[in-house]
Structures are given as C-alpha cells and as structure tokens.
C-alpha cells in the first residue's frame, strides 16, 4: 500500500512539474544557492543556443576588458528594428533591459575573436564555439550551452567566483533585468529564437525571496505566442507563484 501511495505521489509530482513547461520539451531547474541543492528538476537538459542570455557573458567580458562602463553611450547606427526602443542610443542598462542585439555585436567586434574565445574558456561557457562569427554565433548558430552549464555559470557569477574581475561580476549583476513581487526579486535574462524548426525560449535568473536565494533556469522548444524568452520568464513566474515563492 505504501509503495502504491508513493508511486501515485511521484506520478502526480511529475505531472505537476510537466505543467511548468506547458507540455513542451525542455528543462526547468530550481537550485538552492545556499548548498547547491536541486530543489526541482523537470525535463532533460541539452545544449541549445543561448540567444540573448549570452548578454550576461558578453557583459562580463566587456566590463572586465574595460570596453563597457555604466556611463558608456552606444550611438544608434540608424538601422531600424521592428522594436522602437531598439532604434535609439543605448547604455549598459538599456542594452540588457531592451535586449539590443546591435550593442552585443558592437561589443563582440570590439573584443575580437581571440579575446572572445579566451573569455569563453575562462568562463567555461558551454561548447565555447564562436565559429558562427562575432555578429551571430550566439543567435541560433554555433555557440551552445545547456541548463546545467548555465546554472554553474550563474552560480559562480552570484558568488563572484568567475575568472574575471570581481568588479565586472558586480557590474554585470547590477544590470540584469529585474522583476519584483512583494519581498521577492527575480534578476535574470531572457533569450528567444528559432531552433530545429520551432520556437526556442530560455530564461536564466536568481530568485531572492523569504525562503532564500535560488537559481532558476528554464528552456523550452515548442510553439508559443510572442518571443520565446518572455514566455519562458512568465512560465517561471507562474510556477514560482504555485510554489508560494512569488
């Protein structure tokens, strides 16, 4: 009888967890930063393009190399995007908040391939393959990273243990995109794209709430309305609400 009850519990827990992904294939991770304990894992982690979650790594590289400062203004090049907020001058904070691709491309070109590859190795960032080019390797091209690798990367960033300056890590955390709900605070970055013929959504972040500090990561592949990254972040928030953490 006990075994039957436990089996039913595990089955229901698995079904509840699957709802995080909305029936799509992907991976969800909730990790307690206090002791690196995996609180919840749903799905399978596999290497996927980072898309705009790569901006976290790009910020670290650029702050460390001192080509990016909080006060630097990136002058708009006049190339129009469908999003009006992209078609204007940007700062470090607006680059991250508005997810402005042309600023990332400016920074990677200023860093150059040799320095980018060296930083990818120092950060142990995914497959470290930037052969897709300085302007698009992270945009559903050669650079791939799985949720577990993202978790280690974000954990080390939060603990200031990455192989870049402490100042670069502090500055990068400062410009992460923040959502709040009461005492809970979620700092992270979304990523959107198309991969293997379907929508790709990614979210990497750190939740600070009354229960503690947690890494939160979600990847999914499957049809969605709007940018996949925004859908991924909303899926995270909805699930945190169900857990009483938001």
- Pick the catalytic residue from 52, 99, 187, 192: 52
Sheet architecture: strand order including 184-195: 37-43, 25-32, 212-221, 198-209, 184-195, 177-181
Dihedral through CA 99, CA 56, CA 168, CA 127, nearest 10?
-140
- 52 catalytic? Reply is yes
Neighbours of 195 (CB within 10 A): 14
Pairing of strands 184-195, 198-209: antiparallel
How far apart (Å, rounded) are the C-alpha atoms in residues 152 and 136? 24
C-alpha separations of 91 from 55, 88, 139 in Å: 13, 10, 21
How far apart (Å, rounded) are the C-alpha atoms in residues 123 and 139? 19
Residue 55: both structure tokens together = 């901006």
Residues known to be catalytic? 52
């Amino acid at each position: 009888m006990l075994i039957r009850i436990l089996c039913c519990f595990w089955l229901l827990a698995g079904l509840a967890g699957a709802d995080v992904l909305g029936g799509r294939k992907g991976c969800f991770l909730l990790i307690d930063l206090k002791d690196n304990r995996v609180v919840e894992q749903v799905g399978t982690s596999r290497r996927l393009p980072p898309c705009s979650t790569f901006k976290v790594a790009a910020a670290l590289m650029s702050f460390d190399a001192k080509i990016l400062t909080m006060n630097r203004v990136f002058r708009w090049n006049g190339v129009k995007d469908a999003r009006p907020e992209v078609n204007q001058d940007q700062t470090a904070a607006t680059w991250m908040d508005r997810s402005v691709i042309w600023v990332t491309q400016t920074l990677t070109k200023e860093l150059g391939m040799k320095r980018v590859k060296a930083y990818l190795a120092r950060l142990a960032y995914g497959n470290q393959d930037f052969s897709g080019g300085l302007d698009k390797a992270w945009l559903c091209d050669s650079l791939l990273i799985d949720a577990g690798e993202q978790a280690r990367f974000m954990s080390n960033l939060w603990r200031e243990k990455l192989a870049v300056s402490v100042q670069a890590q502090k500055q990068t955390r400062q410009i992460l995109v923040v959502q709040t709900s009461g005492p809970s605070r979620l700092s992270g970055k979304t990523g959107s794209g198309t991969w293997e013929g379907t929508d790709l959504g990614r979210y990497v972040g750190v939740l600070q709430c009354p229960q503690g500090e947690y890494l939160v990561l979600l990847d999914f592949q499957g049809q969605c309305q709007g940018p996949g990254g925004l859908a991924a972040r909303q899926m995270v928030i909805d699930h945190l609400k169900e857990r009483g953490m938001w």
